[in-house]
Amino acid sequence: QVQLVESGGGLVQAGGSLRLSCAASGSTSSISAMAWYRQAPGKQREYVARITSGGTTWYVSSVKGRFTISRDNARTTVYLQMNSLKPEDTAVYYCNDPFTPRRWGQGTQVTVSS
């Protein structure tokens, strides 16, 4: 079993920055990649960024150049550095294994005011 706990969200003005963290515990050796997702009110969950075990990253076009996904050496914590935030980035942000989805965590709320 893998447990995922997201943190670091908050309220920020447009143009500001936040750094989200995702701590994985349990059977973390079974995780090959990690991704960040977000879900805005009334919308479907959106795949935002991914980092593989080899360090290859991928971003959805709307965040490319503004967000950076990274992880610690133990590969138990994944980060999402979010810069130049826009009101449309407002959502609950979640992390998960994109290839073998685990039970979703509670997410962390990001609110960007205009």
Contact between 20 and 82 (Cβ < 8 Å): yes
**Which tokens hold the place of 79?**
């980060």
pLDDT at residue 98, as a whole number = 95
pLDDT digits (tens), the chain, 114 positions? 899 999 999 999 999 999 999 999 988 888 889 999 999 999 999 999 999 989 999 999 999 999 999 998 777 899 999 999 999 999 999 999 999 999 999 999 999 999
* Closest C-alpha among 55, 44, 51, 43 to residue 67: 51
